């Protein structure tokens, strides 16, 4: 069971969170098309040793809207507010959440240990973006299932979606989303999460080719990836290994980009995090 709380970020936006366990503080940052609900198993696996704070990033659930001037600066401010509120010095981020953790660590000495799972740090256009215009058109037309398929095929994060034709994928996806339209407790319905990819891809574009910026990070960094993830995540991790002053790499067998989530392999990820954060 978790406790609920919130903090007000620098621009006045409320950032709500779920909190588990007791001990040294850890903040877990989810990626796009996700919310705090997707880190429940990971948080519970760490709760015996740590006070684990899992926010709904802005634009989702317990938190306020993205805002008119949304960008990486707002996300950094949100994480800084969470760190100040909780006293945490350890941060874990998945995907776009990893980008936020990375950027925040440059300017936030409070972060002593930073764990990153497959940040989509684009290096010379390594992260695919050709699918974005179609995705945004489909969202504008209210075709949420089609937009979700465009994301999954475009980012190549799942082998099934890479190979199966769109006309086969969209109808069952549409049916599945119909059963996910009502919120259950604090959880955010999946159709409400699909549009968050647009804002997160804004972060990817904003941080493209910024690899050299991270040479000044003082925190100890753990770089995590799954053996079944697309190659462009490996390229990001390799580049970070080359510039970060203190980093360690771990590749977790049989996991893909969803590894830390409830649908992936949170127990395996928690094992690496527990050792690193201790």
Asked if residue 97 and residue 71 are part of one domain, the reply reads: yes
- What sections of the chain are H helices per DSSP? 40-46, 72-86, 96-105, 132-140, 144-155, 159-163, 166-178, 190-193, 196-206, 231-243, 266-277
Range of the domain at 73: 3-122+209-277
The CA-CA-CA angle for residues 219, 225, 228, to 5°, reads 175
> Percent of the chain, pLDDT > 90?
91
Amino acid 163: pLDDT? 85
pLDDT given at position 159: 72
Q: Where residue 75 sits, what CATH number does that domain have?
A: 3.40.50.1820
Domain boundary residue, one of 141, 172, 200: 200
- On whether both 265 and 145 belong to a single domain, the answer is no
Strand partners, 25: 51
The number of distinct structural domains making up the chain is: 2
In a domain, 262, yes or no: yes
Residue 157: per-residue pLDDT:
76
What's the N-to-C CA distance of the chain in angstroms? Answer: 23
* Section 242-256 average pLDDT: 97
User: 108 and 174 share a domain?
Assistant: no
pLDDT of residue 202: 98
pLDDT digits (tens, 9 = 90+) for 85-104: 999 999 999 999 999 999 99
* pLDDT value, residue 38: 98
Domain C-terminal end among 177, 200, 223: 200
Q: What was the pLDDT predicted at 247?
A: 98
Both 160 and 177 in one domain: the answer is yes
Categorize the per-residue pLDDT at 278 as very low, low, confident or very high, splitting at 50, 70 and 90: very high
What φ, ψ does residue 114 adopt, rounded to 5°?
-130, 120
Handedness of CA 237, 208, 66, 113 (dihedral sign): positive
Query: For all residues of the chain together, what is the average pLDDT?
Result: 96
- 20 and 115 fall within a common domain: yes
What is the pLDDT confidence band of residue 242, given thresholds at 50, 70 and 90?
Answer: very high
At 140-187, the pLDDT tens digits run 999 999 999 999 999 987 777 888 999 999 999 998 898 777 778 899
The confidence band for 33, taking pLDDT boundaries of 50, 70 and 90, is very high
Tell me, yes or no, whether 158 and 106 share the same domain. Answer: no
Assess whether pLDDT exceeds 80 at residue 60.
yes
Shared domain for 95 and 186, answered yes or no, is no
State how far the Cα of 252 lies from the Cα of 273, in Å rounded to an integer: 12
Instruction: Say whether both 246 and 157 belong to one domain.
Output: no
Overall average pLDDT of the 109-126 stretch:
98
Q: Tally Cβ neighbours within 10 Å of residue 69.
A: 8
Label residue 124 by pLDDT band (50, 70, 90).
Answer: very high
């Amino acid at each position: 069971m978790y406790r609920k709380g919130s903090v007000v970020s620098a621009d006045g936006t409320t950032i709500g969170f779920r909190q588990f366990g007791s001990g040294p503080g850890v903040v877990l940052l989810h990626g796009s098309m996700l919310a705090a609900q997707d880190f429940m198993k990971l948080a519970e696996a760490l709760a015996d040793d740590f006070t684990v704070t899992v926010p709904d990033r802005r634009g989702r659930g317990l938190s306020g809207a993205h805002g008119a001037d949304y960008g990486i600066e707002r996300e950094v401010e949100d994480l800084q507010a969470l760190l100040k509120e909780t006293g945490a010095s350890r941060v874990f981020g998945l995907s776009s959440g990893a980008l936020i953790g990375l950027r925040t660590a440059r300017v936030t000495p409070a972060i002593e240990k930073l764990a990153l799972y497959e940040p989509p740090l684009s290096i010379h256009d390594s992260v695919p973006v050709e699918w974005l215009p179609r995705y945004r058109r489909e969202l504008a037309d209210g075709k949420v299932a089609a937009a979700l398929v465009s994301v999954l095929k475009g980012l190549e994060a799942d082998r099934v979606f890479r190979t199966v034709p769109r006309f086969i994928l969209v109808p069952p996806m549409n049916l599945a989303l119909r059963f996910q339209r009502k919120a259950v407790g604090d959880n955010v319905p999946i159709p409400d999460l699909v549009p968050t990819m647009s804002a997160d891809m804004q972060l990817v574009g904003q941080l493209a080719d910024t690899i050299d910026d991270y040479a000044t990070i003082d925190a100890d960094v753990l770089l995590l990836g799954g053996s079944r993830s697309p190659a462009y995540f490996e390229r990001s991790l390799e580049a970070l290994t080359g510039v970060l002053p203190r980093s360690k790499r771990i590749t977790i067998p049989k996991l893909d980009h969803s590894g830390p989530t409830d649908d992936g392999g949170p127990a395996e990820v928690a094992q690496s995090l527990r050792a690193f954060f201790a």
